[in-house]
Structure 1
């Protein structure tokens, strides 16, 4: 574990709790946690940042998933199928992550965020309408497994930030669910992708386990609180948080990239 000033450690703990809350409500907690680790631990190689972020995120995601599965109307069998495909994609992406240059992370994340923001703003009713009734067709399930599972799983292992957000949006589009149910399904899938990526990073020795253990406790607490709030307040609340989070992060990454 690197020598970290107490002030930096406390700020990382707060970031972990906030990331867990955001991830549980709408996904994308890594978009806060990863920049926080990049700023707080500037001398670490990107693979250690990515690996440690996975070890932190898996705790909050698991806590949120357990909370959702108890109360949200998700189809656990479909979620697990998508999750298995996502884990395969995540393993592949994590294996290739060692070649990533940290200089490309911020611009890439920002471009993806802008695409998400444009989609959400141009589709104001997306995810807030009542979910489709009846069983999900095989075609929708296959699209979710191959397109959403493998594709977003690969991205999660390669880079990671925003995976939960992309899962929520993609699952709502392919399965016809509302945002709360999509968030619940995304948490189950995200647990699988995190396991796959963390296994790869762990075997490569790219995880700061002691630091991750401390931050994971705060991430878990934030995730469980966030899941309960999303269940209580509904899809409109989830969509509002999504817009605020994406706009804030675009501004922050833009400032870091071009102003600071």
Structure 2
């Protein structure tokens, strides 16, 4: 395909915004993937190119959360190991399904959890108590979360970070800000697995991915800094906004 200046004008600002949102509450793919598609990039190349930009951006935000001590490293590393395997598995499947099916999965596989968050106002606040787990559960539960959502990330993508945050808070009892930090590590691992598969499959437009990555890194840095200063209430508010985009996206596609 031909890449023009218009491609960059469409992709780069939206990828910056996606990085900002994703570093706080996940869901950046809801902004980034449509940007690539709107710029005329085919679905498989859109996913592969987005993974490269997202991977580098997520590395920046993960580093910021770790530096600010907002990550439970043991949980994050086990989740990351599972997410790495899941990301490779999901991306491998994505390469072998039709573009029509891939578009359908992107549009349909988006869940509804806003009602839960609205009715559980103390969900993930700063006073959340981390659950005590047996040594085996402390390994298996984060790894299972990472594996399942890593596979979803590789196959579909949008919303992975948001769902990971909700799992870390709902299942493990972490506050939303710490969950967001752990999710960045898990998301980084799944992105690495996906990038390896898409690069091997020749489905990455590096001429677009590299400038998009710079925008993603800038957005992720600014977003992570904002989240750390704003605390769990800010993360919660952005999660609501991301879920709103999920619902809107589903509704618009159903109307079409």
Give your verdict on TM over 0.5.
Answer: yes
Query: May I ask how many residue pairs the two structures share in their alignment?
Result: 256
Partner residue, 1:149:
146
Q: Is the 2:14–2:32 Cα contact (8 Å) retained in structure 1?
A: yes
Task: Report the alpha carbon displacement of residue 118 of structure 1 after superposing the two structures with TM.
Answer: 3.5
Task: Report the alpha carbon displacement of residue 166 of structure 1 after superposing the two structures with TM.
Answer: 0.9
Q: 1:88 aligns with which of 78, 85, 89?
A: 85
Q: 1:78 aligns with which of 75, 80, 83?
A: 75
Task: Report the alpha carbon displacement of residue 176 of structure 1 after superposing the two structures with TM.
Answer: 0.7
RMSD: 2.1
Partners of 1:101 and 1:126 in 2: how far apart? 39
Alignment pair present for 1:40 and 2:39: yes
Partners of 2:119 and 2:106 in 1: how far apart? 20
Task: Report the alpha carbon displacement of residue 194 of structure 1 after superposing the two structures with TM.
Answer: 0.6
Q: Relative to 1, partners in 2 of residues 1:124 and 1:102: Cα closer, same or farther, differing over 3 Å?
A: farther
Unaligned runs of 5+ in 1: none
Partners of 1:106 and 1:130 in 2: how far apart? 41
Q: Is the 2:78–2:139 Cα contact (8 Å) retained in structure 1?
A: no
Unaligned runs of 5+ in 2: none
Alignment pair present for 1:68 and 2:94: no
List aligned pairs for 1:82-231, cutoff 5 A.
Answer: 82-105=79-102, 108-132=105-129, 137-138=134-135, 140-231=137-228
Q: Is the 1:85–1:146 Cα contact (8 Å) retained in structure 2?
A: yes
Partners of 1:112 and 1:128 in 2: how far apart? 28
Q: Is the 1:140–1:174 Cα contact (8 Å) retained in structure 2?
A: no
Residues 52-79 of structure 1, C-alpha deviations (whole Å, 9 max, x = no match)? 1101100110000000001134221321
TM-score, normalization by structure 1: 0.89
TM-score, normalization by structure 2: 0.91
SS at match of 1:246: helix
Partners of 2:53 and 2:169 in 1: how far apart? 26
Partners of 1:216 and 1:72 in 2: how far apart? 25
Q: Relative to 1, partners in 2 of residues 1:40 and 1:257: Cα closer, same or farther, differing over 3 Å?
A: farther
Task: Report the alpha carbon displacement of residue 89 of structure 1 after superposing the two structures with TM.
Answer: 1.2
Partners of 2:67 and 2:184 in 1: how far apart? 13
List aligned pairs for 1:223-242, cutoff 5 A.
Answer: 223-242=220-239
